[in-house]
């Protein structure tokens, strides 16, 4: 096991600027108390609110591990989260599922020092929760423990991340469970539709591949060992630590259990999707009474100056809840859907924008045409100053106030660094959103929204749609298993 | 549980650390301020200053269980209608709008009645009335500003604005910057006193879509609905919260107003405010806005008790999906001592990889994809269920899972569980409890929940003490009293095409 080392690690500490936010307010007299009649909601006077967003401390250990630490001693809990630069997009070709199985068996397959059953017993006894999950462009580690078990808990976590044993029977079990998960995806229409939509938009890109029975059958235990060795490296990992631990203790304990983790050669980045998918309508047939409709196209990245205008546009189009255009049209006005809206996934080097609605079979194409017409309408400069004002206030205030636990705060700050965004991204974000004008928004809508570029997927009962799709106007697809 | 020798010292250590009495550095009883307004509304206040935000919950002791027969879904549809504004929020000229709304309601009612006749109805009348309703709805659009409540909250930094309807309660919640509490008080007191049911018939269609999404196209939702309906033959817990399709498509504004009336009884209202507050100031503000609600008693519907179950109930659902199953046993509700015992049992059986059923069915025998036990379904104002959900792994079957789960239940009835296993379960419950204290909105939810349920939020602050008192004998006794076949409902979902 990895005993305490007396070696003193050089600790690099960067103090970040504390950002102070002041929310501007109108000031005025307090409401009269006698014969109280409620003011119009827009006329209520509020006290000004000053506050400082707590700043996490950044520490880099000798072997390149980056720690973001935020102390909070209210409860006897410590939360550790980590991001590892990897993801299912790195699955070896023909062996899709390797990344997910690696993460799963790191957690469940024991360590070089402890059998899996012993790891599970210890963790369950401490009531410590450890999760290692793989997504498309990263792996996330989650760990929560009572502060009294922090040492032993981190010891176990380090063993899982650095020296997983990948026990053969746990690998087999994981593969069986993944097979069953694939079998069950098609029981869930929305999940199936979004997976197949991703497959369509990331055509010929490593991001557009998903595990199948065949690809899972091709994976061997050695593939997991190789995948782990390639990506789980100290210089490829960032930790966010929050809760009832001091900065010095956190550094000491991390150094003890993760300090001997050897650096390795960083794997090459996968470039952003370069090939644009063919715009077309795709259909998956399933005899159910409600259709899932998704439509979208590639768009502005986070590093593009138009990112802010596009963010506001997306909010007004369909991410901003009830007052947003898609929800108020498809849901409130027409009663055609309970769930509808837009989504904007912005990465540092590419972005994707889409809209969706789940509606009864007999209104499928009507709902699709409403989604299109809402976006066309936004392109025709129909957004009002009042809508713009609402969206900017909502985005900015929602943004600051979404950090209400130390866990969220430190996670957000680590993500900025993980995405290699400028350290003052959080402060600039508000200013940039605030500066978006109607002209910027209209330009962005005009420049990037193009109906003709949409990939459209409909999952539903194709024989009972509101009117038949034109012959040759769509492609019927059968999801592979 | 068999444990290697080397493992024992670790266990003892944990035993000492986790079960060494209270005092984690928080004591809710000292921190929560509970006040009753003169009209009878209960207010709970808890200061937490980590961030300049506040979570606000208003919980009504009114839920789906309070609906009349034939009006299932009314409480939930009412919750949707509460976002449509008030006489002073969203209205341009309420007097004029009111006339139009009355006309819409009259037309909608006539249309519903004609449609209810089914084949005996006059299709021409249905067509005429539909067209008239559509025209009136279009005209109405110029009389109001939609989504004002949502706009006001989001524009002022509101987050997680939502509402939820359960069998027992309906709750409305939002998190706001700490200086904006008055906005919340203004909106919530107004929609309680002066709500306007705009877009009623369109919203009813939206809820039909919600039902399609959650039940008609979702095997889990479908199985759960049928399972509950089988488990409760008499008591309204057997009805779905979203409503049966036939009830839902005919729901009237009148059915919603009857539920609304119950909201307004102050003894049915609990407010919880958690976050960066000055309790005295916050309380004054709440009194200013909510003090106007008149005191008064509300007589509740008589709700027929579920008769004691005497034989097993089995149902089977056919669906185009892979198999899954639910087992459920009737048992007493909170705050019965047995309810705490079932919280422990839920953990012993399926919390964590080393829990009994997970370890046996998923890891060792490898016949299940997943298994999870839940205590206290579907709600807790009335006696409820202890349920076990499981999905077999292909090619294994529901029947195989049922047999193996039964074996584990038989074991619980025969053999006392080892002490260390009980300690492990209690440790897990404590961890979950402490984690729930980390969030303003979760605290506001939990405090208002127990206050509404038992008239005393302190159930929650005393919770761990009661869990500590659960013994091995309690578990043995509860298993023998409740986990019996004649007290069981079994629901299988099997693939339609096999």
Confidence (pLDDT) at A35 = 61
Nearest CB to A338 within list B199, B201, B209 = B209
* Residues A41/B187, Cβ–Cβ less than 8 Å: yes
A273-289: pLDDT as tens digits: 988 899 999 999 999 99
Number of residues written out for chain A: 481
**Cα separation values, A334 from A341, A371, B203, B250, B302, Å:** 14, 12, 9, 18, 38
SS3 label, residue B127: helix
Contacting A residues, span 253-282, partner chain B, CB-CB under 8 Å: none
Give the gap in angstroms from C-alpha B5 to the nearest C-alpha of chain A. 11
Residues from chain B contacting residue A75 (CB–CB below 8 Å): 24-26, 434, 437-438
Confidence (pLDDT) at A270 = 95
Inform me whether the C-beta atom of residue A77 falls under 8 Å from chain B C-beta atoms.
Answer: yes
Q: Is this prediction's ipTM beyond 0.95?
A: no
Q: Which residue has the higher pLDDT, B306 or B17?
A: B306
Interface test with B, best of A121, A181, A337 (most B CBs within 10 A): A121
Interface test with A, best of B148, B282, B438 (most A CBs within 10 A): B438
Q: Do A335 and B205 touch (CB under 8 A)?
A: yes
Residue A140: pLDDT above 60?
A: yes
Q: What is the rounded average pLDDT for all residues in chain B? A: 93
Distance from C-alpha of B259 to C-alpha of B80, rounded to nearest angstrom:
13
Question: What's the token pair of residue B344?
Answer: 């422990």
Q: Which residue has the higher pLDDT, A144 or A412?
A: A144
Question: What's the token pair of residue B142?
Answer: 């110029």
B18-70: pLDDT as tens digits: 433 344 436 788 899 999 999 999 999 999 988 889 999 999 999 999 999 99
The mean pLDDT of B465-481, rounded to a whole number, is 97
Q: What is the rounded average pLDDT for all residues in chain A? A: 90
Distance from C-alpha of B202 to C-alpha of A383, rounded to nearest angstrom:
25
Residues from chain A contacting residue B356 (CB–CB below 8 Å): none
Residues from chain B contacting residue A176 (CB–CB below 8 Å): 366, 393
Between helix A385-401 and helix A425-435 the angle, nearest 10°, is 170
DSSP B91: B
Nearest CB to B17 within list A108, A148, A331 = A148
Q: Which of B402, B421, B415 is nearest to B347 (CA)?
A: B421
Give the gap in angstroms from C-alpha B302 to the nearest C-alpha of chain A. 33
Interface test with A, best of B80, B130, B212 (most A CBs within 10 A): B212
Distance from C-alpha of B157 to C-alpha of A444, rounded to nearest angstrom:
25
Q: Do B354 and A33 touch (CB under 8 A)?
A: no
* Same fold for the pair B36-91+144-212+244-290 and B308-495: yes
Which H/E stretch holds residue A167? none
Give the gap in angstroms from C-alpha B236 to the nearest C-alpha of chain A. 25
Confidence (pLDDT) at B29 = 84
**Phi and psi dihedrals of B394, rounded to 5?**
-55, 135
Give the gap in angstroms from C-alpha B301 to the nearest C-alpha of chain A. 31
Give the gap in angstroms from C-alpha A407 to the nearest C-alpha of chain B. 10
Residues from chain A contacting residue B190 (CB–CB below 8 Å): 38
pTM, two decimals, is 0.92
Q: Do B201 and A335 touch (CB under 8 A)?
A: yes
The mean pLDDT of B74-96, rounded to a whole number, is 97
Residues from chain A contacting residue B51 (CB–CB below 8 Å): 51, 401, 403-405
Confidence (pLDDT) at B18 = 40
Residue B8: pLDDT above 90?
A: no
Give the gap in angstroms from C-alpha A30 to the nearest C-alpha of chain B. 11
DSSP string of A372-406? HHHHHHHHTT---HHHHHHHHHHHHHHHHHT--SH
Confidence (pLDDT) at A186 = 93
Q: Do B431 and A321 touch (CB under 8 A)?
A: no
**Phi and psi dihedrals of B326, rounded to 5?**
-135, 135
Residue A316: burial class (beta carbons within 10 Å; 0-12, 13-18, 19+): buried
Confidence (pLDDT) at A276 = 86
Q: Could you tell me the pLDDT band of residue A13, with boundaries at 50, 70 and 90?
A: very low
The mean pLDDT of B394-418, rounded to a whole number, is 98
Q: Do B151 and A323 touch (CB under 8 A)?
A: yes
Residues from chain B contacting residue A403 (CB–CB below 8 Å): 51
The mean pLDDT of A34-55, rounded to a whole number, is 84
Size of interface A-B (CB pairs under 8 A): 233
Q: Which of A7, A79, A411, A473 is nearest to A245 (CA)?
A: A79
- Report the Cα–Cα distance between both ends of chain B, in Å, rounded: 39
Domains of chain A and CATH, by start: 57-258 (3.30.830.10), 280-476 (3.30.830.10)
- Looking at chain B, the whole-number percentage of residues with pLDDT higher than 70 is 94
A109, closest residue in chain B (CA to CA) = B363
**Phi and psi dihedrals of B420, rounded to 5?**
-65, -30
Q: How many other C-beta atoms can be found within 10 angstroms of the C-beta atom of residue B246?
A: 10
Q: Could you tell me the pLDDT band of residue A480, with boundaries at 50, 70 and 90?
A: confident
Residue B497: pLDDT above 80?
A: no
Q: Could you tell me the pLDDT band of residue A2, with boundaries at 50, 70 and 90?
A: very low
Residue B4: pLDDT above 90?
A: no
The mean pLDDT of B149-177, rounded to a whole number, is 94
Number of residues written out for chain B: 498
Nearest CB to B7 within list A31, A118, A333 = A118
Residues from chain B contacting residue A187 (CB–CB below 8 Å): 219, 320-322
Identify the weakest region by mean pLDDT among A7-11, A178-182, B152-156, B174-178: A7-11
B280-319: pLDDT as tens digits: 999 999 999 999 999 877 677 789 899 999 999 999 999 9
The mean pLDDT of B397-413, rounded to a whole number, is 98
Cα B335–Cα B337–Cα B341 angle in degrees, nearest 5: 115
CATH dotted code for B308-495: 3.30.830.10
Q: Do B179 and A25 touch (CB under 8 A)?
A: yes
Residue A123: pLDDT above 90?
A: yes
- Looking at chain A, the whole-number percentage of residues with pLDDT higher than 70 is 93
Label the pairing between strands A280-285 and A66-71: unpaired
SS3 label, residue B319: strand
The mean pLDDT of B241-257, rounded to a whole number, is 97
* Residues B189/B291, Cβ–Cβ less than 8 Å: no
The mean pLDDT of A354-378, rounded to a whole number, is 97
Q: Do B155 and A149 touch (CB under 8 A)?
A: no
Question: What's the token pair of residue A352?
Answer: 């994707």
Nearest CB to A41 within list B179, B187, B434 = B187
Residue A11: pLDDT above 50?
A: no
Distance from C-alpha of A243 to C-alpha of A142, rounded to nearest angstrom:
14
The mean pLDDT of A66-73, rounded to a whole number, is 95
* Residues A48/B177, Cβ–Cβ less than 8 Å: no
From 3.40.50.150, 3.10.129.10, 3.30.830.10, 3.40.50.12780, which CATH number describes the B36-91+144-212+244-290 domain? 3.30.830.10
Give every CB contact of residue A44 below 8 A, 6+ residues apart in sequence.
Answer: B182, B183, B186
- Sheet with B269-275, side-by-side order of all strands: B33-36, B42-47, B269-275, B53-60, B170-177, B159-165
Distance from C-alpha of B1 to C-alpha of B193, rounded to nearest angstrom:
58
* Residue A66, phi-psi category: left (phi > 0), alpha (psi -120 to 50), beta (remainder): beta
Residue A28: pLDDT above 70?
A: no
Distance from C-alpha of B44 to C-alpha of A88, rounded to nearest angstrom:
47
Label the pairing between strands A475-476 and A290-299: unpaired
Boundaries of every domain in chain B: 36-91+144-212+244-290, 308-495
Inform me whether the C-beta atom of residue A35 falls under 8 Å from chain B C-beta atoms.
Answer: no
Residue A27: pLDDT above 70?
A: no
Q: Do A76 and B24 touch (CB under 8 A)?
A: yes
Residue B6: pLDDT above 90?
A: no
Residues from chain A contacting residue B7 (CB–CB below 8 Å): 118, 121-122
Confidence (pLDDT) at B26 = 61
Q: Do B179 and A47 touch (CB under 8 A)?
A: yes
Residue A333: burial class (beta carbons within 10 Å; 0-12, 13-18, 19+): middle
């Amino acid at each position: 096991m990895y005993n305490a080392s007396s070696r003193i690690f050089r600790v690099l500490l960067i103090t970040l600027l504390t950002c102070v936010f002041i929310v501007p307010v109108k000031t005025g007299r307090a409401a009269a108390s006698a014969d109280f009649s409620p003011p119009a909601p827009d006329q209520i006077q509020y006290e000004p609110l000053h506050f400082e967003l707590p700043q996490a401390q950044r520490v880099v250990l000798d072997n390149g591990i980056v720690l973001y630490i935020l102390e909070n001693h209210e409860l006897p809990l410590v939360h550790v989260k980590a991001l590892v630069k990897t993801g299912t997009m790195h699955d070896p070709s023909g062996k899709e599922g390797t990344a997910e199985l690696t993460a799963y068996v790191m957690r469940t397959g024991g360590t070089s020092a402890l059998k899996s059953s012993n790891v599970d017993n210890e963790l369950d006894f401490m009531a410590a929760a450890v999760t290692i999950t793989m997504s498309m462009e990263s792996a996330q580690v989650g760990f929560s423990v009572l502060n009294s078990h922090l040492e032993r808990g981190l010891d176990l976590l380090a063993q899982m991340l650095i020296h997983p044993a990948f026990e053969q029977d746990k690998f087999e079990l994981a593969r069986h469970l993944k097979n069953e998960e694939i079998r069950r995806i098609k029981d869930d229409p929305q999940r199936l539709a979004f997976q197949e939509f991703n497959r369509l938009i990331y055509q010929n890109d490593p991001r557009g591949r998903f595990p199948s029975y065949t690809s899972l059958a091709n994976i061997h235990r050695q593939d997991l060992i190789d995948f782990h060795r390639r990506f789980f490296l100290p210089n490829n990992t960032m930790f966010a630590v929050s809760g009832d631990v001091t900065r010095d203790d956190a550094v000491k304990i991390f150094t003890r259990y993760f300090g001997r983790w050897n650096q390795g050669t960083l794997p090459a980045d996968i470039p952003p999707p370069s090939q644009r998918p063919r715009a077309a309508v795709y259909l998956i047939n399933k005899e159910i009474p409600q259709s899932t409709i998704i439509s979208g196209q590639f768009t502005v990245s986070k590093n593009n100056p138009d990112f802010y205008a596009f963010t506001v546009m997306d909010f007004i189009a369909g991410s901003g809840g009830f007052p947003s255009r898609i929800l108020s049209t498809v849901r409130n006005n027409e009663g055609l859907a309970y769930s509808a809206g837009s989504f904007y996934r912005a990465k540092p080097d590419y972005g994707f924008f889409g809209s969706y609605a789940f509606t009864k079979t007999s209104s499928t194409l009507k709902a699709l045409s409403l989604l299109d017409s809402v976006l066309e309408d936004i392109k025709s400069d129909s957004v009002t100053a009042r809508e713009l004002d609402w969206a900017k206030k909502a985005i900015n205030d929602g943004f600051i106030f979404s950090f209400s636990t130390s866990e969220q705060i430190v996670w957000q700050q680590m993500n900025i660094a993980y995405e290699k965004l400028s350290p003052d991204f959080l402060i600039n974000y508000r200013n940039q959103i605030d500066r978006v004008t109607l002209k910027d928004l209209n330009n962005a809508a005009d420049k990037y929204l193009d109906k003709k570029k949409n990939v459209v997927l409909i999952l539903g009962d194709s024989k009972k749609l509101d009117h038949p799709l034109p012959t040759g106007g769509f492609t019927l697809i059968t999801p592979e298993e | 549980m068999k444990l290697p020798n080397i493992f024992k010292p670790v266990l003892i250590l944990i035993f000492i650390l986790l079960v060494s009495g209270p005092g984690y550095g928080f004591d809710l009883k000292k921190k929560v301020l509970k006040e009753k307004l003169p009209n009878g509304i209960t207010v709970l206040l808890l200061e937490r200053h980590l961030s300049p935000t506040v979570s606000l919950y208003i919980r009504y002791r009114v839920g789906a269980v309070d609906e009349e027969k034939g009006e299932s879904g009314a409480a939930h549809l009412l919750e949707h209608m509460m976002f449509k504004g008030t006489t002073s929020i969203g209205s341009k000229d309420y007097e004029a709008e009111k006339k139009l709304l009355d006309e819409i309601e009259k037309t909608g009612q006539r249309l519903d009645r004609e449609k209810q006749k089914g084949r005996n109805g006059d299709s021409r009348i249905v067509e005429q009335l539909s067209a008239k309703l559509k025209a009136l709805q279009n005209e109405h659009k110029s009389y109001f500003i939609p989504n004002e409540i949502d706009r006001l909250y989001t524009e002022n930094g509101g987050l997680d604005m939502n509402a939820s309807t359960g069998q027992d309660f309906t709750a409305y919640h939002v998190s706001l910057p700490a200086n904006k509490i008055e906005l919340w008080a203004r909106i919530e007191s107004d929609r309680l006193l002066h709500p306007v049911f705009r877009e009623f018939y369109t919203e009813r269609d939206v809820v039909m879509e919600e039902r399609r999404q959650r039940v008609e196209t979702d095997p889990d939702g479908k199985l759960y609905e049928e399972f509950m309906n089988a488990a409760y033959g008499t008591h309204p817990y057997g009805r779905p919260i979203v409503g049966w399709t036939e009830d839902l498509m005919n729901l009237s504004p009148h059915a919603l107003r009857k539920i609304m009336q119950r909201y307004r009884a102050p003894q049915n209202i609990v407010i919880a405010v958690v976050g960066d507050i000055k309790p005295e100031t916050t309380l004054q503000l709440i009194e200013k806005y909510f003090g106007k609600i008149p005191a008064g008693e509300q007589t509740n519907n008589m709700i027929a008790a579920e008769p004691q179950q005497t034989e097993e109930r089995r149902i089977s659902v056919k669906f185009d999906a892979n198999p899954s199953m639910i087992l459920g046993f009737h048992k007493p509700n909170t705050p019965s001592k047995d309810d705490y015992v079932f919280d422990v049992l839920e953990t012993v059986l399926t919390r964590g990889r080393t829990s009994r059923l997970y370890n046996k069915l998923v890891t060792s025998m490898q016949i299940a994809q997943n298994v999870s036990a839940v205590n206290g379904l579907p709600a807790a104002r009335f006696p409820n269920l202890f349920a076990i959900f499981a999905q077999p792994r292909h090619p294994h079957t529901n029947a195989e899972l049922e047999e193996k789960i039964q074996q584990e239940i038989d074991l619980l009835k025969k053999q006392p569980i080892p002490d260390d296993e009980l300690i492990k379960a209690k440790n897990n419950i404590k961890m979950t409890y402490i984690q729930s204290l980390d969030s303003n909105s979760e605290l506001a939810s939990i405090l208002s929940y127990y206050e509404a349920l038992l008239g005393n939020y302190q159930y929650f602050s005393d919770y761990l003490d009661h869990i500590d008192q659960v013994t091995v004998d309690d578990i043995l006794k509860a298993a023998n009293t409740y986990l019996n076949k004649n007290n069981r409902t079994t629901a299988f979902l099997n693939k339609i095409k096999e």
